[in-house]
Homo-oligomer: A and B are copies of this chain.
C-alpha cells in the first residue's frame, strides 16, 4: 500500500479525480490508487485476471499537473499483463494497474469503465444517468489451506482473507455458502471468488471456485396489469435484457379494488394472488435469463417496486386493510429478504430488495418514480404523475415533497370506454381532427402511417390486423381533439347540432356519438360516445383534483415541470393532456413523458446502494396527502370536470394551441351543457336533429 511516501518517492496523479500522492517506488498503480482513495474496480484483487483495473498512463500532461519530469514512469508489462493482453485483448495504451508499478512520477487516467462508481447512462430507458454503487460485489481471494496446527474453520479462513485482501470486516455468510465453501476451495485450489452483499458488515451470499466474474440482477416493476423487468450486469450496470408479462392476478379482478374484494370474499384468496404473482415473476426471470443468455442461478440480486396492494401480495401480506380507511400498510419501510422466500428460483443466496411504500395508496412504485425523476433534488416545482387505475401524484422540489394517489379508475386504460382496449396492435393511439371538416385521421399501433395515407388500409392488412379499438393515449387525444374542433363543449357535451354538418356526429337514444372509424364489414365501428367522454372526464377530474390538492397544500397556482410516467402515462401527448385538463397548465416545453419511471427507479435501486439509502430517506420526509378524506378533493373534482378546466387561466396552453373561446364565469355557472356559445349551437342543432 502507498502509505506515507517521502519526498524522494515517485509522485502519482490520478485523473479525473485529481488525487495525488507519493508512494514508494515499485508500488503497483492499483495499490497506489487504493491508498489514495481513488476509485478503481477489481474483482481478482490484483492477480492480473479480471482486467477491470485497466488504466491509461497519460503522456504530456505533466506540466499541467505541476510535474516537470516526463514521460510516465511505469514498469514495463510483465508476463501476467502480456498473458491478459493475449487472451482478452487490451487497448494498446492501456495498462493493468495491478501489474504496472510506479518507478517514477506518473499521471494515470482511470477511464470510466475501470471505476466501480461509474456513471450508467441508458438513453433507451428514459432513465437519468446515475452512478453505479453495487450492492453485490465479487471478490477473488486466496484462502489459507487448513492446517492441523491451526484448526480454524474454512469460513474463518475465508473471512480472514476477505478482511486482509479487501478490508471487508465482520462479514456473515449464508449457510449455503458454508456448505459450498469446502468443495469450492478444493476445486479452486484454495482460490475462490465470493459475492458479498452489502460490503463490510454484510453477507457472503455466493462462492465459486477460482476466478469468477459474472453477477447479474433483475429490477422488476409489478404493475396491476403488466409486470416488467430489466436484467442487468451488476458489475458494470449494462442492461442485457428487458421483458414484460401480464400480471396473472387479472383473472381475480381487473383493478386493484376488485382483487382486494376477491381476497375479502375468498378464504385463502390472498395466498392465491400471492402465488399467481410470484409464479409470473419466476417465469419473467426465466425469460429474462434466456434472453440475456445467462443462467437464472447467476441472478444474485433483485429490486422490486409495485403499488401497495401489489407490494403486499408479493410479500404474502393480506392486502385487505388497504381496501378501506385508514388504508394501513403492514410495512412501509424497505424490505430486504432472500429471493427464495418469494419462491423465486435464482441463485440461492440472492436477495430481494423491495422499495419502501409511502402511504396506503402510494406505493413502492411511486418511490421508484421519485428515484427515477428526482423531484426532491429539483429547484423547479415538479409534478410527476404516474397514470394508471390509480394515479400516483408527486409534487414538490428540493424543499418539500408531497405525494398522493387519486382514484382515476380504469378509463385511461381503455376500460369503461365503448371502443376502449389495451395498447396492442390495431389500437388507435394517435388522433387528429380537422377543425373545419371535423374529419379525423389517426394512427394505430403496429402500422407506420396515418389513416389518411393512401395505402393505409393495405398497411393495416399487411400488419395482420384491423383497427380494433382505441387505447388510452388515443382516448385522451380524441377527446381533446373533439374539444379543439368544437365537437364537444367545455362541459363535455357532444354538440348534436353538428350532425347537420357531418355524418361523423350521429345520434343515439338521447345523446350523440362521434364516428371515429367505420371499418366496414371486416372491423368494428369505432365510436366516441357521450358516455365515453363522461368516463374520461371523471378520470381526468380525479387526477386533476389530486394534483390540485397538492398544489393547495403547497400554496401554488402553477407548476414548473411536469413528468407523465407509467406505461400509459408516457404515451400521452403532453399537449393533449393539458388541453383535456389532466394536468395543470405548464410550459409545453417542460412537460414530458418519463417512461416507466417506476421500473427505472427499481433499476437504479438494483444498481446503487446509495440510491436505496437516498429513497429510504426521501420517503420518510414525503408529506402524504390522503385524497379520500380531504373535503377539498370533492370540490376540486367537481370543478375539474370541465374541459379544459374552465375556471382557471391556461396561459401556457393558450400560447401554443388555438383553444375554443373560454366561457365567462356566468356561462360556467349555467347548468347542463357547455359554455354559452356552444350550448346555443347545441340547442339549435339538437332540435334540428331530434326533429
A→B interface (CB under 8 Å): 145-149, 151-156, 173, 175, 178-179, 181-183, 315-318, 320-321, 325-333, 335, 337, 341, 357-360, 624, 626, 628-629
Contact = CB atoms under 8 A, between A and B. Distances in A.
A487 B680 CA distance: 131
11 contacts: A146-B327, A149-B626, A151-B626, A154-B321, A154-B329, A155-B332, A175-B337, A178-B330, A178-B335, A179-B316, A182-B321
Contact of A328 (B151, B175, B320, B624): B151
A335 B156 CA distance: 12
A179 B318 contact: yes
Contacts of A628: 148
A484 to B, nearest CB: 40
A155 B333 CA distance: 9
A271 to B, nearest CB: 11
B175 A335 contact: yes
A333 B153 contact: yes
A151 B329 contact: yes
A149 B328 CA distance: 11
A255 B671 CA distance: 95
Nearest to A359: B151
A237 B448 CA distance: 77
B153 A315 contact: no
Contact of A154 (B147, B316, B328): B328
B624 A151 contact: yes
B175 A315 contact: yes
A288 to B, nearest CB: 24
Task: Report how many copies the assembly holds.
Answer: 2
A47 to B, nearest CB: 24
A317 B183 CA distance: 10
A239 to B, nearest CB: 29
Q: Which of A320, A327, A329 has the most CB of B within 10 A?
A: A329
Contact of A148 (B146, B326, B329): B326
B154 A331 contact: yes
B154 A325 contact: no
B179 A315 contact: yes
* Closest 3 pairs (CB-CB, A-B): A146-B328, A153-B332, A151-B359
Given A148-B325, A327-B148, A357 B183 contact: no
B626 A341 contact: no
A331 B175 CA distance: 10
Contact of A181 (B145, B175, B330, B337): B330
Contacts of A358: 151
A197 B320 CA distance: 29
A591 B152 CA distance: 32
Contacts of A335: 175, 178
Contacts of A151: 326-329, 332, 358-360, 624, 626
B178 A315 contact: yes
Given A146-B327, A155-B332, A175-B337, 20 more contacts: A148-B327, A151-B329, A151-B358, A151-B360, A151-B624, A152-B329, A152-B332, A153-B328, A153-B331, A153-B333, A153-B357, A154-B331, A155-B331, A173-B331, A175-B315, A175-B341, A179-B315, A179-B317, A182-B321, A183-B318
A398 to B, nearest CB: 23
B629 A331 contact: no
B148 A330 contact: no
Contacts of A316: 175, 179
Given A175-B337, A318-B183, A153 B326 contact: no
A145 B327 CA distance: 11
A330 B147 contact: no
B147 A326 contact: yes
B629 A154 contact: no
A329 B175 contact: no
Contacts of A173: 331
Contacts of A320: 182
A676 B152 CA distance: 48
Nearest to A147: B326
Contact of A330 (B153, B317, B331, B360): B153
Contacts of A626: 148-149, 151
B331 A178 contact: yes
A130 to B, nearest CB: 27
Contact of A318 (B182, B318, B321): B182
A326 B178 CA distance: 18
A531 B203 CA distance: 54
Nearest to A318: B182
A183 B321 CA distance: 9
A629 B329 contact: no
B624 A326 contact: no
